[in-house]
Amino acid sequence: MTSNLLEEDVENILGGVLDRAEGTLYVVDPSAAIIEAFVAVAADVDGGPDVRLLADEDVLKYVMDDFLVGSRAADLVEEGTLEMRTLVEDEDNSLLVSEESVMALVTSGENVGALVTEDREFVDAVVDAYDGVWADAEPFNLRTPGISHVRETLAAEIGEATRDDFEAVLGAVETARGNGDGLDEVTISLLVAAKNDVLLYDISKWGEDVGIASKATFSRTKTWLEDVGAIDTEKVPIDVGRPRLRLKLGDERLVGADPDELASIALELTSE
């Protein structure tokens, strides 16, 4: 029989469950922090169970609005290892339910505990119950593109240097939501495009094609970044039609900045 668990962070518990569970694993009514931790851990696990995540719709929308989380979750969905549906009613506990055990997650201060039972009759009953809840639940529509597809297409269509800068800036931020809470994926795309002298047309077309945002959103964000002095543009004549705009970094501090510095300076500029 598995003993109850006590860890300093939920990632250790989730990692252990993903390593041991077979078949289907239900993640029931997780908090935003648990969903974020689960996606981070699951992204680094090869194989593992098929995960069915049942969560409050508002919580899912909030968590997946962070591109860092949503794009990783999209990879898991595309791989077929994760499905997400929304709960109609709140559950009494956050649960991890597999064919082998039922765990109730409990947080206390800086510690996270998992109350575990492997009682066969109880586990079977809980699995049956959540099979029914899952069948009645509505699928959650995740619109964020998978990070693997984003990386591949950015390198192929814009350039490997821009892809590398995009990944580096993503790695330097704690969240990618925008609206005063980190730099969002559109802002990061435009900043690294400006760092590499990419045309606005090219980066916005790529962004729309890959599913990050519409060309109109890229254009509005470009105008805003110009207004705060983060980027600048120069006109590039073409054979037919209006000149296109080449993106340039607009603040001298951004030129030659490493990813950490670029992210922090851009945050400072966009928060003013």
Q: What is the pLDDT of residues 25-35, one digit of tens each?
A: 999 999 998 99
Residue whose C-alpha is closest to residue 206's, from 196, 214, 194, 195? 214
* DSSP letters spanning 205-262: HHHHHHTS--HHHHHHHHHHHHHTTSEEEEEE--SSSSPEEEEEE-SGGGTT--HHHH
CATH of 147-271, one of 1.10.10, 1.10.3470, 2.60.40, 1.10.12: 1.10.10
Q: Which residue stretches of the chain have pLDDT < 70?
A: 1-8, 109-110, 178-181, 272
Which CATH code fits 10-139? 3.30.870.10
Q: 3-state DSSP helix/strand/coil percent for the chain, to nearest 5? A: 50, 20, 30
Predicted pLDDT of residue 176: 83
Distance set, CA 211 to CA 62, 183, 215 (Å): 18, 18, 10
**Local structure of 174: helix, strand or coil:** coil
Cα(127)–Cα(134) distance, integer angstroms: 10
Question: Could you tell me where in the chain the CATH 3.30.870.10 domains are found?
Answer: 10-139
Q: Which two tokens stand for residue 33?
A: 């922090």
Look up tokens 């949503």; give the residue: 70
Cα(197)–Cα(133) distance, integer angstroms: 51
**Local structure of 95: helix, strand or coil:** strand
Predicted pLDDT of residue 159: 97
Predicted pLDDT of residue 111: 72
Question: Could you tell me where in the chain the CATH 1.10.10 domains are found?
Answer: 147-271
Predicted pLDDT of residue 1: 42
Predicted pLDDT of residue 180: 58
Q: Which two tokens stand for residue 1?
A: 């029989």
Q: What is the pLDDT of residues 159-207, one digit of tens each?
A: 999 999 999 999 988 888 766 567 899 999 999 999 999 999 999 999 9
